[in-house]
Structure 1
Amino acid sequence: MPRSQRSPLLLAGLLAAAGVTHFIAPRTFDAIVPRALPGTPRTWTYASGAAEIALAAGVALPRTRRVAALATAGFFVGVFPANVKMAVDWRNRPAALRAGAIGRLPLQVPLVLWARSVAKNGEGRS
């Protein structure tokens, strides 16, 4: 399978795995929900997990791939404040954990670019 065909499926797999993890280990995600958001952190954890699973399905299907990949890019931008909160909250953790939290910040850029690339090369254009 050519790389151009694998890329959307890999992105869908990443989204699906992350989405399922929100339901399997929600406390990890609850802790990084910005306090400024209304409602409970668990609600946001479950909502973002469900969104990731829905985005994964959309990216996996050629007919909806373009729109879902663009929505995925927006999602990656939208969750950036949670990654910032994690980096701030983990500033006194052991070096390896702190480095992981800080490393998530620049990782958002290639994720957004990956999703945009999938959208650009995706099917489902009208």
Structure 2
Amino acid sequence: MVLKKISCAALAVLYASAGILHLAIPTPFVAIVPGWVPVPSATVMLTGIAEIAGAAGIAQSWSPRLRAVSASWLAAYALCVWPANVQHMLLDLAKPGQGLGLVYHIPRLALQPVLIWWPIWASNLTSWPFRSR
């Protein structure tokens, strides 16, 4: 239980920080939005707001239902931004210096399922892969 509370706090810090960055310095985020996404600058602004809202919801402890909804939101969000992470890798690899390179991008893409699972687990929506007591 303590680990889940720590996880909720860590997720809140992670997503609040990301949301603030999306709002404060949107240019690098706008640059990696896939071409099929309409109005990239507005999309980045909305994702920043979504991250901050999800962070606030998962951080609070007075409403387990709100925490669960926020966790589901953050999991869905992590799934939805996966294409931007792939786009970022492709853009970097197309650069002469290879940008951040595969050493950065492969672990980032491989850990995306963890970012999908983690809030769901931390908010008690699943106990997988651990046994329930």
TM-score by length of 2: 0.82
Give SS of 1:36's match. coil
Q: Which residue of 2 aligns with 1:31?
A: 31
> What are the ranges of 5 or more consecutive residues in structure 1 without an aligned counterpart?
none
Tell me which amino acid in the other structure corresponds to 2:93: R
Conservation of the 8 A alpha-carbon contact between 1:92 and 1:98: no
Q: Which residue of 2 aligns with 1:115?
A: 119
Q: Which residue of 1 aligns with 2:42?
A: 43
- CA-based RMSD of the aligned residues comes to 1.9
Tell me which amino acid in the other structure corresponds to 1:102: I
* Aligned counterparts of 1:95 and 1:51: Cα–Cα separation in 2: 30
Superposed CA offset, 1:88-107 (max 9, x none) = 11113435701223332112
* Aligned counterparts of 2:123 and 2:117: Cα–Cα separation in 1: 10
Conservation of the 8 A alpha-carbon contact between 2:92 and 2:98: no
Q: Which residue of 1 aligns with 2:56?
A: 57
Moved over 6 A (4+): none
Conservation of the 8 A alpha-carbon contact between 1:67 and 1:119: no
Q: Which residue of 2 aligns with 1:74?
A: 76
Q: Which residue of 2 aligns with 1:20?
A: 20
Conservation of the 8 A alpha-carbon contact between 1:91 and 1:98: yes
Tell me which amino acid in the other structure corresponds to 1:5: K
TM-score by length of 1: 0.87
Label 1:45 to 1:14 Cα distance change in 2 as closer, same or farther (>3 A): same
* Aligned counterparts of 2:22 and 2:101: Cα–Cα separation in 1: 21
Superposed CA offset, 1:71-111 (max 9, x none) = 11111001001001111111134357012233321121111
Give SS of 2:54's match. helix
Deviation at 1:23, TM superposition (A): 1.5
Moved more, 95-104 or 78-87: 95-104
**Structure number having the greater helix percentage:** 1
Give SS of 2:73's match. helix
